[in-house]
Structure 1
Amino acid sequence: MTSMALALFCLDEDKSFAAEVSRFLGVGIAPHEERAFEDGEFKIRPLSNVRNRDVYVLASLHGAEPHTSVSEKLCRLLFFIGALKDAGAAEVCLAAPYLCYQRKDRQTKPRDPVTSRYLAQLLEAMGTHRVITMDAHNVAAYQNAFRCDTDHLDARGLFASHFARLAGDQPVAVVSPDLGGEKRAELFRERLERKLGSPVDKAFMDKRRSQGEVTGDIFAGEVDGRIAIVLDDLISGGGTMARVAQACKTRGATQVWCAATHGVFSSGAAKTLGGAPIDRIVVTDTVPLPAFMTALKDRLSVVGAARLFAQAIERCHNGGSLSQLIEDES
């Protein structure tokens, strides 16, 4: 067991998630100062002693336009990690419920950037000891991008428990919105099957994206007479979920439930999703819901992930097993 005292900081403007993590951990959120200069520069520093302490920084790296861009939040985080290291922190660990710049994890066109690797290099350069995140866009790419310690949490257990209660004894199929997410959907399907104690069917839809245009209409699998649960890592504009929902309804699904770990909703998402044949949308609280999403009313619900993050932080700090934690969630 480590002898270093744990310190918890939060850089999110909406501190509700951090407050829940703090409550589950039984550790208060340490104070810090942020001050802006007239020309747009800023300074950020811890206001409590971190020397020889094990420091965890909670920062969900999503955009919050028109308030704060992703890049501004990342810059602020990097400077804060640097300040913590300069102040003598033994280890600085980033707990990022949503980790930015993960969509581009490989080159699919000539001269494409690999932003997931660039992000890892920036965090490591500032002295980050460990990164904890939930449902990275591509788990293998996330794990391979970093040279520091990484831990990966997933929302499959949270969603399986949630949907098992709703589905009861009704027939269910899990649908992946593209081939890239098929492994994620399959692991969730297996977990849901264990929760329900009955078989769960599967399906997937083809999707190709090039220069912002989405194509592909191949649909494989059986959803007729079943509740179709479409699973993805995030929802942004809502176009992917809308097209898969329509395909499921056309093929006889009794209901369409959409689940995504990160609700990174853009301004047009409420209209797109509201006009689609979707009966339920479920996301976690890794990203705060924007006010405009209230237009979906009771069709949209949120499951909490703070307890899982608190348990992960506690186990990392005390040398416990995260593998066992993930198994326990199943």
Structure 2
Amino acid sequence: MEDMVLLADKNSKAWDFAMKIQKYLVKAKEFFIPLEEVSINYFRNGESGVHIPENMRKKDVYFIHDSTKNPQNWWVELLLIKDALLSASAESVTFVLPNMLYSRQDRKDKPHVPISSRALAESISHSLKRIITMDLHAPQIQGFYPSNVPLDNLYSFPEAIRHLRKHHFEDLNNLVVVSPDAGAAGRTKTFLRKLVNAQEDSAIKHEYFFALLSKERSKPGEVGDMQLIGDVNEKNIIIIDDIIDTGGTLCKASEVLKKNGAKKLFCYGTHGIFTNGVSELCNCFDFVMTSNTHHQEFPNTEVVDVTPIFAEAIYRAQMGLSIS
């Protein structure tokens, strides 16, 4: 469409993500959207500079950002790119943020600290048309955004389950879907329901179960005691989480699960940050899955491509169709 543009930094990982969205829309919808470049440079003092070479006047612009960037640069670049697009008389600006940074700071956990996810919402939402993201750490973050700027929280589970059924079908029988903590129980049960629904038309039916790990965290990044609620004896396990950061919680969980008789261990985290790498995780689990929302090149990890989900959301948003 001539009045619609995908925009991304060609020198970032968002460019490949945007290209996959563009290709999907051409193949699945026969719907071509031009992909244009935003040039981002850094001055000697660390300040960011933004330049958009192409004319954006009267265009509906979908800017796709790279969440592997330094979080502070990521935030500032959103502000600068929005300002540049509005100054260039773009018809509308939509942010496509595969991984919403600062989403773990969604409440005051002690006195005299900011609610950073709210501060982000207040700073970037003005004059936007909408924001499209995936697997928010806390869905209530949507409430920080004004009603005239919808925040669409997409779910990666359809593609993750498709990947599991294609590459690990035999391992799915007698599978326990485990929540890493009480806060993730709702997300984990949703994954379990979708896993059950995915086999409706299959001749082979698997049995699935649910279990929960209860943990105490002494301070950020450190996991204390962990207890298992549920039966995992002689069963395969998959742990579902939205973010894999250091992997400490998952490695501690693997110890508890193995002590309780678990067989094969798998894990899936939508946003694979992997601040400590993946070596220890791969030693603890038979396979580690993540998506390309925060894509980094690590050996021995399986990456689920979620660009089809984003492409569908962009198409539906532009055509005035339901996204939910």
Q: TM-score, normalised by structure 2?
A: 0.89
- 1:74-99 per-position Cα deviation (integer Å, ceiling 9, x unaligned): 21221011110111011100000111
Looking at structure 1, the residues matched to 124 and 263 of structure 2 have their Cα atoms a distance apart, in angstroms, of 46
Looking at structure 2, the residues matched to 205 and 310 of structure 1 have their Cα atoms a distance apart, in angstroms, of 35
2:47 to 32, 41, 48: 41
What is the Cα deviation at residue 203 of structure 1? 0.5
Q: Secondary structure at the match of 1:92?
A: strand
Q: Secondary structure at the match of 1:111?
A: coil
Is the CA contact (8 Å cut-off) linking 1:239 and 1:272 kept in structure 2? Answer: no
Q: Which runs of 5+ in 2 are unaligned?
A: 26-31, 200-204
Residue 252 of structure 1: aligned partner: 261
Q: Secondary structure at the match of 1:215?
A: coil
Q: How does 1:123-272 map to 2 (within 5 A)?
A: 123-125=124-126, 127-140=127-140, 142-147=141-146, 148-165=149-166, 166-168=168-170, 170-196=173-199, 197-212=205-220, 213-266=222-275, 268-272=276-280
Is the CA contact (8 Å cut-off) linking 1:316 and 1:322 kept in structure 2? Answer: yes
Cα RMSD of the aligned pairs, angstroms, is 1.8
Residue 289 of structure 1: aligned partner: 296
Q: How does 1:269-284 map to 2 (within 5 A)?
A: 269-276=277-284, 278-284=285-291
The runs of at least 4 aligned residues of structure 1 exceeding 4 Å deviation read none
Is the CA contact (8 Å cut-off) linking 1:62 and 1:100 kept in structure 2? Answer: no
Looking at structure 1, the residues matched to 242 and 293 of structure 2 have their Cα atoms a distance apart, in angstroms, of 11
Instruction: Specify the code of the residue in structure 2 equivalent to 1:90.
Output: E
Q: Which runs of 5+ in 1 are unaligned?
A: 64-68, 324-330
What is the Cα deviation at residue 4 of structure 1? 8.0
Larger mean CA deviation between 82-91 and 16-25 belongs to 16-25
Looking at structure 2, the residues matched to 210 and 122 of structure 1 have their Cα atoms a distance apart, in angstroms, of 32
Residue 28 of structure 2: aligned partner: none
Looking at structure 2, the residues matched to 51 and 242 of structure 1 have their Cα atoms a distance apart, in angstroms, of 51
Instruction: Specify the code of the residue in structure 2 equivalent to 1:271.
Output: S
Q: Secondary structure at the match of 1:231?
A: strand
Q: TM-score, normalised by structure 1?
A: 0.87
Is the CA contact (8 Å cut-off) linking 1:227 and 1:253 kept in structure 2? Answer: yes
Among all aligned residue pairs of Structure 1 and Structure 2, give the percentage whose two residues are the same amino acid: 28
Larger mean CA deviation between 157-166 and 186-195 belongs to 157-166
Looking at structure 1, the residues matched to 119 and 218 of structure 2 have their Cα atoms a distance apart, in angstroms, of 22
Instruction: Specify the code of the residue in structure 2 equivalent to 1:286.
Output: T
**How many pairs does the alignment contain?**
306
Residue 328 of structure 1: aligned partner: none
Distance 1:149-1:246 versus aligned 2 partners, 3 A rule = same
Is the CA contact (8 Å cut-off) linking 1:161 and 1:192 kept in structure 2? Answer: no
Is the CA contact (8 Å cut-off) linking 1:174 and 1:201 kept in structure 2? Answer: yes
Q: Secondary structure at the match of 2:217?
A: strand
Residue 56 of structure 2: aligned partner: 50
